[in-house]
Amino acid sequence: MNTNPIFLKIKSIMESIYFKILLLIAVAMISFFPLGNYASSVETHATTISSLDDKKQTVMELAGASTATSAAISLLPGDFGTPIADKLADLSGYFLFILGALYLEKYLVTITGYIAFKILIPIACGLLALFLLVFKKSEMLKILAIKLIAFSILIYAIIPVSVKISDMINATYQDSIEQTIDTAKDTTAAIDSEEASDDSSSDKTSSSDSSDSNKDGNFFSNLFNSASDKVSDTVDTVTNAVSTSAEDLENMLSNFIDAIAILIVTSCLIPVGVLIFFVWIIKIMLNFNIKKD
């Protein structure tokens, strides 16, 4: 045992209540000013915010592609594409929900740093000071303060950690999501092109029929033949569309649903899972039951 007078003097000072209170005040000040400013700064979380912006852009592209494809499919002849168009239109609600979750995470990533280091940790230091000065016999304030500090770290870390895990999952499925967007755009362009081609062909046929009727003088006969040809062409178009496009449209709808499932997992379920995991860890480390004297 060290009997040096200087060492004993320093030890007695460090064990005094006033030194501990000054130390708590210093911790509260450090937490409020440098750490609080750092944790609530946008520049500190630039990587996390950039990742959330990329996800937001992906969701908006998926929403736009599904809406455009739904509108294009509804223009196809016949009713075979109507159920798929309706399903694609219904997906907008899911995209809106995911977009709201991403915006919430983006704003909370800086707000939680402010709450944790500028509010909760200074309050915890105040509770520990009260425990040392007034309620020394009761452990409730001490345990509550420790839990408050742990909770502060939890809420600050939850979004960056969940975004990091989400990025790992997105790295695996990002190609399939981009392929879904490209396929939807190609399908919409093909349908629009087909509609424009049909309209142009119809105009040319009408012009040709009018010219032939003027030349031959047999207007009613040509009109009847033209109507018969149009009916036949319409039947052929619907038949070809059903045989060549129905399966592709169903696959595209399935790809949209898969993309939504991935985004819900990465944007909504993973943050909740990280929160539950952190709470479980804190319960194990702190023995979450508060014991009263």
- Judge whether residue 20 has pLDDT over 50: yes
Whether this model's pTM surpasses 0.85: no
Specify burial of residue 23 (Cβ count, 10 A radius: 0-12, 13-18, 19+): middle
Burial of 224-242, coded b for 16+ CB within 10 Å and e otherwise, reads eebeeeeeeeeeeeeeebe
Length of the chain: 293
Higher pLDDT, 264 or 221: 264
- Give the pLDDT confidence of 51-66 residue by residue, as tens digits: 999 999 999 999 988 8
Specify burial of residue 213 (Cβ count, 10 A radius: 0-12, 13-18, 19+): middle
Mean pLDDT (the chain, rounded): 77
Angle, vertex CA 113, rays to CA 23 and CA 148, nearest 5: 55
Q: Residue 15 has which token pair?
A: 């064990």
- Judge whether residue 289 has pLDDT over 90: no
- Give the pLDDT confidence of 227-277 residue by residue, as tens digits: 344 434 433 444 444 443 567 778 888 888 888 998 999 888 998 888 888
Helix 121-133 × helix 17-30 angle, to 10°:
170
